[in-house]
Amino acid sequence: MTDLTNMRLLDEVNSPADLKDKSREELKQIADEVRQEVIDAVSVTGGHLGAGLGVVELTVALHAVFDTPVDKLIWDVGHQCYPHKILTGRRDRIRTLRQGGGLSGFTKRAESEFDPFGAAHASTSISAAHGFATSRDIQGNDNHVVSVIGDGSMTAGMAYEAMNNVGGDQKRQVVILNDNDMSIAPPVGAMSHYFSRLVSSRSYRGLRRFAKSVIKPMGLENPARKAEEYLRGFAMGGTMFEELGFYYVGPIDGHDLDVLIPVLENVKQMQRPVLVHIVTHKGHGYAPAENSADKYHGVSKFNVVTGEQQKSAPGAPKYQDVFGKTLIQLAETDDKVCAITAAMPSGTGVNLFAKAFPDRAFDVGIAEQHAVTMAAGMAADGMKPYAAIYSTFLQRGYDQVVHDVAIQRLPVRFAIDRAGLVGADGATHAGSFDIGYLGALPGMICMAASDEAELAQMVATANEIDDRPSAFRYPRGEGTGVALPKTPTPLEIGKGRIVREGTSIAILSYGARLQESLKAAEMLAAQGLSCTVADARFAKPIDADLTERLVRDHEVLITIEEGARGGFGAFVLQHLAEVGALDRGIKIRTMHLPDVFQDQDKPDLMYDEARLNARHIAACAIEALGRGDVAEIEAFARA
């Protein structure tokens, strides 16, 4: 027998094909080495750790049994894909995860042929896999299609829409349900493993076919099928999945290759939709993660030995915490205030509110559509719901925003976190589009906070709006360090503010680019160019008086926003066109995110790429004005 103790088998694995000739013991060692590689890499880069550690054995088993990339392997969300990337030729770049120019933290088609479908939002994998299976059958191919979806993602309706369609079509497709929260599975043990191997085996399926041929002439096929389903459901669970048209196998231990591999080999032979239910543990194999309440779901850089994460120096409060604490203040005197989030309580600050008012805080899971319409129902019955949802995730509930909220003018308050660029999470999590898609809705009030004090006042403002929906957006991370009001006061609807007075150039900022706008004004002042800086506060209704005054009293107007084209700048231009303010010689420039999906990087570098930092604003003003020295601006920025 080969001594494996001093061999590093992972060094021999450059693609999944290199797993095919490995023994079961060798695959177990490779799994251990992959787990250590993930831990070492994430300790340097930060990122999602717990989910990846939970699927190491599953990843090894899938690549050992199936023939990727010909067989399609689709990971739901993709934050658990680090072991997959290590085994698919990206190990040499694994320490560039989530870095500028490096590997994405999720699956990405442009990155590897082993990533057939990109992901980062939840509950898409079964639908995408069904698309691949349908395409395969139309083209007359014979490859397998496998999707891996977590129990958290199974809270979203899209997963069940897909399963209903798959079960009806009966196309050959494998769904791996990765249950890592024990929210679905009964206890896993020897009998469960035995039944899983039995019902997925060729002999059992052969017996089923024989029995079917005997009872079909008797007219007993349907009653017998039901009886067998319920017997298997009684022994193993999974009756619901059987009713949706899937052949259910499980639950099995997702960390045991001696169980996983035989089951997957059996499943590979089936000619119908199959759901394999595995039970795993987030953070498996790394004690600090296993012992942590969040299982190291998302971590900063950390010490591998102790698990201690790097802590940033204390700074200004995070925007999400300002939202949560301000909402608590309002709720102390208003018993109708409540908060709803969709699986992001800590990311939105709703966790703080939940501690103070547990009966008025609701985490509905990964179900943004439901969250929005639930908020609409509460608003219709007189409550004051705040739907705290990331900008990128609110996209998933847009029809509900339009149909269930806006058309009925229901006063749902949308707290839109992660507005603008988000750094390491890249394009899939950027909050780029909400200004345009909410501003297009009749009656919607749209606000953007330029700092944490403004955010507190906007939370209070939304609380006073009882006749229509409202939204306020704010960025990820820490505020600017300004003093917070002890008692936030509501703002006047549709009114901005002048922050700095000047004469030649006007910068109208919507949201968190205000500080960069003020820096730009300083750069321009150093060249003798006088600049007004205004905080728009509202994109809808727009401050008509302020906007028209800026046009009337300045040679150049620049709008700036952390959003895609077609947002605030477009609203300003449309208003000015309607009142005839563009009929004279004013020069207007709109600054917004570029018309591309930006990859991950440090936020400052991403805003550099987007040309939305101070030096870009100042340069834009000089070029429009026709006076000043852009080279001097660059020198000022470097100083």
Residue 336 has pLDDT above 80, yes or no: yes
Q: Concatenated DSSP letters for 413-439?
A: EEEEES-B--GGGGGGG-B-SHHHHHH
Catalytic entry in 396, 418, 473, 513 = 396
Please tell me the distance from the alpha carbon of residue 503 to that of residue 420, in angstroms, as a whole number: 30
Q: What pLDDT does residue 194 have?
A: 47
Annotated catalytic residue 396: yes
Write out pLDDT tens, residues 382-431: 999 999 999 999 999 999 999 999 999 999 999 999 999 999 999 999 99
Residue 9 CB-half CA count within 13 A: 24
The model's pTM is: 0.88
Secondary structure (H, E, C), 109-176: CCCCCCCCCCCCCCCCHHHHHHHHHHHHHHHCCCCCEEEEEECCHHHCHHHHHHHHHHHHHCCCEEEE
Which of these ranges, 138-142, 300-304, 571-575, has the smallest mean pLDDT?
A: 300-304
Q: What pLDDT does residue 391 have?
A: 97
Please give the structure tokens belonging to residue 490: 């509501």
Q: Concatenated DSSP letters for 347-411?
A: HHTHHHHHHH-GGGEEE--S-HHHHHHHHHHHHHTT-EEEEEEEHHHHGGGHHHIIIIIITTT--
Residue 195 has pLDDT above 60, yes or no: no
Q: What pLDDT does residue 7 have?
A: 58
Average pLDDT over residues 459-480: 97
Annotated catalytic residue 368: yes
Please state the φ and ψ torsions of residue 142, each to the nearest 5 degrees. Answer: -135, 20
The superfamily (CATH) of domain 319-473 is Thiamin diphosphate (ThDP)-binding fold, Pyr/PP domains (3.40.50.970)
Neighbours of 469 (CB within 10 A): 26
Residue-level length of the chain: 639
The residue ranking higher by pLDDT, 168 or 223, is 168
Please tell me the distance from the alpha carbon of residue 33 to that of residue 279, in angstroms, as a whole number: 21
- 9-299 CATH: 3.40.50.970
What dihedral do alpha carbons 249, 253, 256, 257 form, nearest 10°? Answer: 20
Among all chains, which residue has been given the structure tokens 């802590």? 311
Among all chains, which residue has been given the structure tokens 């925007």? 319
Q: What pLDDT does residue 638 have?
A: 78
The radius of gyration of the chain from alpha carbons, rounded to an integer in Å, stands at 28
Annotated catalytic residue 311: no
What separation in angstroms does the CA of 182 have from each of 79, 150, 274, 279, 438?
19, 11, 21, 7, 38
Start-to-end CA span in the chain (Å) = 66
Residue 186 has pLDDT above 50, yes or no: no
Average per-residue pLDDT for the chain: 90
Average pLDDT over residues 113-142: 95
Catalytic entry in 98, 282, 318, 540 = 282
Residue 612 has pLDDT above 90, yes or no: yes
| CB-based burial label for 455 (10 Å; 0-12, 13-18, 19+) | buried
Write out pLDDT tens, residues 566-577: 999 999 999 999
SS3 (DSSP) at 188: coil
Q: What pLDDT does residue 156 have?
A: 86
Catalytic entry in 33, 368, 516, 562 = 368
626 band by pLDDT with thresholds 50, 70 and 90:
very high
Write out pLDDT tens, residues 490-540: 999 999 999 999 999 999 999 999 999 999 999 999 999 999 999 999 999
Q: What pLDDT does residue 1 have?
A: 40
Residues in Cβ contact with 586 at an 8 Å cutoff, skipping those fewer than 6 apart: 551, 554, 555, 556, 557
Write out pLDDT tens, residues 235-277: 455 678 888 999 999 889 999 999 999 999 999 999 999 999 9
Domain 497-638: top CATH class? alpha beta
Q: What pLDDT does residue 544 have?
A: 97
Please give the structure tokens belonging to residue 518: 């003020």
The residue ranking higher by pLDDT, 567 or 179, is 567
Domains 9-299 and 497-638 share a fold: yes
* Domain regions of the chain by residue span: 9-299, 319-473, 497-638
Instruction: Check the CA dihedral 348-349-353-356 and report its sign.
Output: positive
Average pLDDT over residues 62-73: 98
Cβ atoms of residues 539 and 514 within 8 Å: no
What separation in angstroms does the CA of 110 have from each of 66, 106, 118, 131?
22, 12, 9, 19
Please tell me the distance from the alpha carbon of residue 114 to that of residue 238, in angstroms, as a whole number: 30
Q: What pLDDT does residue 200 have?
A: 60
Closest among 153, 178, 111 to 427, alpha carbons compared: 111
